[in-house]
């Protein structure tokens, strides 16, 4: 087992003023009561879901002060060029069915696999490639197939190990994608849809990838006798980043284009925000925190995280040894989800009345 060098280098605190940050609520469109928003690209487009007083949620796109309705369903991902993935649950009377739609340039298309089963997708490339997992029966939640939509066409993909629960996790702009079969194996598929198992270190089980960058670096997790452990795959093999409880962030921004990995590791029984860079673990936790974790990293190396301090959940951005606390809406909880390369962060904050609100933070890049 190759172990990453863990220096546990505590990030230096600076006495210079932190870069400013502002917070803005992502307001529901007229006739809706609330919004959830978790997807953001470098153009500043935000994809999310607006919820009316009754009835299903509807996907929307926020950009430059305009709000575009995308139809029934939940917006779950947005690509570099504005492709939005929308999931719409359609099951009734015991049927377990869900459709996948792709919205781009004003057009919403059903890109679900053939049949009436359950289909799920949560990632899209810059050119609109969408890998997905799906079931072959409308009366079963057994998601046991993998397919991909490329260039406007859908094709089933053969993965190394089929099983009762298959998930596709991430795709890059080169067309590679990664996923896993529950309790069996993790896999990588190339742009020609040839899939291979990702190697697993001795003593590690249940490998699951979370993220993939353009260089083909994959990050995810597995389990050992010590608990959950973070893993990093590249074309040379696999590395255990921390030989003890820990994990990368759970979304696609767990790794950036320089290979930085963000997540957490347990130190003396406490969860600590961690950045793995150049083979070393940089501890981003600070004194007085009950716990901390990193959520996302952009290509500038700006790291978004959150901590619990005196019972309050605090969001922050770290870059080059400096912390910027992201403003709250007056409540006791803030949760960042994603950061783009222009200093925009999207997530959720609780207001002074205890209501969850979708928010956008703007920070100065430095």
- Examine the pLDDT at 44 and tell me if it is beyond 80: yes
Judge whether 81 lies within some domain. yes
For 124-142, write each residue's pLDDT tens digit: 999 999 999 999 777 666 8
| CA end-to-end distance (rounded Å), the chain | 38
With bands split at pLDDT 50, 70 and 90, how would you rate the model's confidence at 29? very high
Residue 3 lies in a domain: no
pLDDT of residue 90: 83
Asked if the structure places residue 179 within a domain, the reply is yes
Q: What is the pLDDT of residues 159-193, one digit of tens each?
A: 999 887 899 999 999 999 999 998 889 999 999 99
- Cα(345)–Cα(40) distance, integer angstroms: 8
Residue 137: the pLDDT is 77
With pLDDT > 70 as the criterion, what percentage of the chain qualifies?
93
CA distance 153 to 262: 35
Q: What is the pLDDT of residue 17?
A: 47
The reply to whether 253 falls in a domain is yes
Residue 163 lies in a domain: yes
Q: Tokens 């255990």 sit at which residue?
A: 240
d(CA 80, CA 82): 6
pLDDT, residue 163, reads: 80
| Predicted pLDDT of residue 335 | 95
Per-residue three-class SS string for the chain: CCECCCCCEECCCCCCCCCCEEEEECCCCCCCCEEEEEEECCCCCEEEEEECCCCCCEEEEEECCEEEEEEECEEEEECCCCCEEEEEECCCCCCCCEEEEEEECCEEEECCCCCCCEEECCCCCCCCCEEEEECCCCCCCCECEEEEEECCEEEEECCCCCCCEEEEEEECCCCCEEEEECCCEEEEECCCCCEEECCCCCCCEEEEEEEECCCCCEEEEEEECCEEEEEEEECCEEEECCCCCEEECCCHHHECCCCCEEEEEEECCEEEEEEEECCEEEECCCCCCCEEEEEEECCCCCEEEEEEECCEEEEEEEECCEEEECCCEEEEEEEEEEECCCCEEEEEEEECCCCEEEEEEEECCC
CATH code for position 299: 2.130.10.10
pLDDT at 117: 85
Mean pLDDT of 63-82: 97
CB 352 within 8 A of CB 339: no
Pairing outcome for strands 166-171 and 153-157: unpaired
What mean pLDDT is reported for the chain? 91
Residue 20: per-residue pLDDT: 83
pLDDT of residue 102: 98
Q: How confident is the model at residue 115 (pLDDT cuts 50, 70, 90)?
A: confident
pLDDT, tens only, 269-324: 999 999 999 989 999 999 999 999 999 999 999 999 999 999 999 999 999 999 99
CA-wise closest residue to 68 among 95, 86, 89, 91: 86
- Is the pLDDT score of 325 beyond 80? yes
In a domain, 2, yes or no: no
- Residue 362, pLDDT above cutoff 90: yes
User: Which pLDDT does position 148 carry in this prediction?
Assistant: 98
Range of the domain at 308: 9-363
* CA-closest candidate to residue 135, choices 149, 120, 154: 120
* pLDDT in the model for residue 140: 64
Would 4 be classed as within a structural domain? Answer: no
CA-closest candidate to residue 69, choices 77, 61, 81: 61
Antiparallel, parallel or unpaired: β 280-283 and 9-10: parallel
Sheet containing strand 58-63, strands side by side: 34-40, 46-51, 58-63, 66-72
Assess whether pLDDT exceeds 90 at residue 97: no
CB 47 within 8 A of CB 78: yes
Compute the distance between CA of residue 59 and CA of residue 26 in angstroms, rounded to an integer.
14
Q: Measured between alpha carbons, how far is 100 from 118 in angstroms, rounded to an integer?
A: 9
Selected residue with higher pLDDT from 6 and 328: 328
Q: Is the pLDDT of residue 240 over 80?
A: yes
The reply to whether 307 falls in a domain is yes
Query: Total domain count for the chain?
Result: 1
Q: Give residues with Cβ within 8 angstroms of 297, minimum separation 6.
A: 249, 253, 254, 255, 256, 260, 261, 262, 275, 303, 304, 339
Q: What are phi and psi of 254, to 5 degrees?
A: -70, -15
Residue 49 CA, distance from chain mean position: 16
């Amino acid at each position: 087992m190759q172990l990453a060098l863990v220096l546990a280098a505590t990030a230096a605190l600076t006495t210079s003023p932190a870069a400013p940050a502002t917070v803005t609520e992502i307001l529901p469109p007229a006739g809706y009561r609330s919004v959830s928003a978790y997807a953001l690209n470098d153009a500043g487009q935000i994809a999310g879901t607006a919820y009316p007083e009754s009835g299903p949620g509807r996907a929307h796109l926020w950009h430059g002060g305009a709000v575009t309705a995308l139809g029934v369903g939940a917006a779950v991902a947005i690509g570099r060029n504005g492709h939005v993935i929308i999931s719409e649950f359609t099951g009734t009377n015991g049927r377990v069915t869900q459709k996948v739609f792709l919205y781009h340039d004003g057009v919403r298309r059903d890109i679900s696999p053939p049949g009436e089963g359950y289909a799920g997708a949560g990632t899209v490339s810059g050119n609109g490639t969408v890998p997905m997992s799906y079931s072959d029966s409308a009366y079963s939640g057994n998601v046991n197939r993998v397919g991909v939509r490329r260039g406007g066409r859908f094709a089933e993909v053969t993965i190394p190990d089929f099983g009762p629960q298959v998930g596709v996790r991430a795709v890059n702009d080169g067309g590679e994608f990664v996923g896993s079969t529950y309790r069996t194996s993790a896999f990588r598929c190339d742009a020609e849809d040839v899939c291979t198992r990702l190697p697993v270190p001795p003593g590690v089980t249940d490998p699951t990838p979370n993220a993939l960058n353009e260089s083909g670096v994959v990050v995810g997790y597995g389990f050992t006798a010590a608990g959950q452990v973070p893993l990093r795959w590249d074309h040379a093999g696999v590395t255990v980043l921390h030989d003890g409880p820990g994990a990368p962030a759970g979304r696609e921004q767990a790794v950036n284009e320089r290979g930085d990995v963000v997540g957490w590791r347990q130190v003396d029984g406490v969860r600590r925000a961690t950045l793995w860079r150049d083979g070393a673990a940089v501890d981003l936790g600070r004194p007085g925190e009950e716990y901390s974790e990193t959520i996302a990293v952009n290509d500038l190396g700006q790291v978004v995280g959150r901590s619990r301090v005196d019972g309050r959940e605090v969001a922050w951005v770290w870059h080059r040894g400096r912390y910027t606390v992201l403003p709250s809406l007056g409540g006791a909880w803030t949760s960042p989800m994603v950061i783009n390369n222009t200093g925009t962060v999207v997530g959720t904050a609780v207001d002074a009345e205890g209501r969850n609100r979708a928010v956008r933070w703007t920070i100065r890049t430095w």
